[in-house]
Structure 1
């Protein structure tokens, strides 16, 4: 959009003043300016004429916003913002002061950006975190899921009312029933409430830990993030290929730190008995029942178990 100065630069000689007056007269008759004058009757016509460039910018921004093409195509000089004029006393005189105000779309984007900053994901499909969530659709997609969905909704509501508990949820069920999606929804809703969260896809995370052995700082930083975030989700636990080091020194250290401090959440195809058997076996040392039980002592007392029944949504979409 051209500024008033750019418009007037195209006019030379005596017609400059004439053009300037014509623009001022037209602006003063504009419904947008009349609305401004009705809102601030203390601003007289002389003061409006003295603030012509700001008035011109204000009217153009208001028109652009009235025909908004979307945030990405915003034609205003400052994307996602519009000029706002307010009277203020400067040096003993009443002046029209301009400030840039964010539009509702910009405010929504800033809010969503803040939410995203509170969430970190390791190896989880970003679509599970970024796509929109509709509570009615979540509940109605598969009626068999209703009890589990209700429990997740209740957990979110309780946290918003009472603050973060030390117990999380252990969500288990068959393939494709929406466990990751539900936990991502929980993470997103509580991020809106101001909590930080991390979701970790266990099979790929465990594989990547091998390369982190060559980068001690990255390993340390990753573990610290998982220890200290408000909400930690281990997605698809039980599907990973465990080594004694991952089980005892990574998972064990994280869970030992978090228990009685912050809630940890899990999704799995195993019930708790099946998970204990999985954690008791490693490819290197075989079955070690005691070590599996030791890790379960850091899981079982700190979760409410939720069985997610339902159809395989992946097969229905294919």
Structure 2
């Protein structure tokens, strides 16, 4: 029985295919990438390369694509974000070639970023700062007026990375638009890189939703439990919400009581602690009740370091 090669030689198209295969073989053997691979694997002979021509072609093609990478979303390789890697082995005198798909740096970076984002949940917050993950230099130079506050923030991040999860958090106090939420999103993003989970909640909208959840006890419990258990919890713009006794005493009180001595809670506010206590002491239903205001403030004041955030109002730019 004649070989496939002999059969191909007898047909015009087959002859052309053999000619093209020989040209491709010559091109691949002359490619610097293949030359380096052969130098590392001297046991690899020309016949093995010929039998694995498609593998070598894929290897070279995808390597060149990566050299001219147009970005992950436009990746021209067969498997987005991956390239072919070859290896060679000698088994009982028989040379064997293996190929496998390897993740590129851009794909690994995207996976890491998605993993970081999966550790952070936000409620009613613009997630731009969470997605961007600004560098420490940008945080420092964006507004020199808040440099002292940024220093406290960076020190807290470093301390958590070195010592583990702290039991106290930060209370960022300052005027409108000075970047308090932005700084807290930066803290969440940086500590998510270290493996910590986090939740940030915009208080005015969240409190309104809580009232609706009174009729959905399952959803309410799930939300409250998540806030109790997350590593890092941020109440954003606290003091701007329309409080009810139930939200203050049962929801907020329950969350803070659980987290005391366990996990840090963070706050941003336009109010200082004294003004926040006055806010918690008054509800539209019960009027003034200083005792209950003092009670919840003990769960806040004792477990935060107050950081004054100064600087310009970014929203007016």
> TM-score range with shorter-chain normalisation?
over 0.9
Question: What is the TM-score normalised by the length of structure 2?
Answer: 0.93
- Residue 298 of structure 1 aligns to a residue whose secondary structure is helix
> 1:156 and 2:161 equivalent?
no
Cα RMSD between the aligned structures? 1.5
> 1:131 and 2:129 equivalent?
no
> 1:48 and 2:49 equivalent?
yes
In structure 2, relative to structure 1, the CA distance for the partners of 1:217 and 1:89 (3 Å cut) is farther
In structure 2, relative to structure 1, the CA distance for the partners of 1:146 and 1:87 (3 Å cut) is same
Residue 132 of structure 1: CA displacement? 4.0
The aligned residue for residue 5 of structure 1 is none
Residue 45 of structure 1: CA displacement? 2.2
Show the 5 A alignment for 1:50-89.
50-89=51-90
Residue 38 of structure 1: CA displacement? 2.5
Name which of structure 1's ranges 76-85 and 305-314 shifts more when overlaid on structure 2: 305-314
Separation in 2, partners of 1:196, 1:87: 43
The aligned residue for residue 189 of structure 2 is 188
The aligned residue for residue 97 of structure 1 is 98
In structure 2, relative to structure 1, the CA distance for the partners of 1:161 and 1:25 (3 Å cut) is same
Show the 5 A alignment for 1:218-233.
218-233=219-234
Separation in 2, partners of 1:267, 1:288: 24
Partners of 2:239 and 2:276 within 8 A in 1: yes
Residue 76 of structure 1: CA displacement? 0.2
Separation in 1, partners of 2:283, 2:163: 40
The CA deviation string for residues 77-115 of structure 1, in whole angstroms up to 9 with x for no partner, is 000000000113457633121111111110110010000
Structure 1: state its 5+ residue gaps.
1-7
Give the greater-gyration-radius structure (CA). 2
> 1:16 and 2:36 equivalent?
no
Name which of structure 1's ranges 83-92 and 14-23 shifts more when overlaid on structure 2: 83-92
Separation in 2, partners of 1:43, 1:216: 68
Residue 221 of structure 1: CA displacement? 0.8
Separation in 1, partners of 2:50, 2:26: 9
Structure 2: state its 5+ residue gaps.
1-7
The aligned residue for residue 205 of structure 1 is 206
The CA deviation string for residues 233-259 of structure 1, in whole angstroms up to 9 with x for no partner, is 000000000111111111011001000
Partners of 2:133 and 2:186 within 8 A in 1: no
Separation in 1, partners of 2:38, 2:218: 61
Question: What is the TM-score normalised by the length of structure 1?
Answer: 0.93
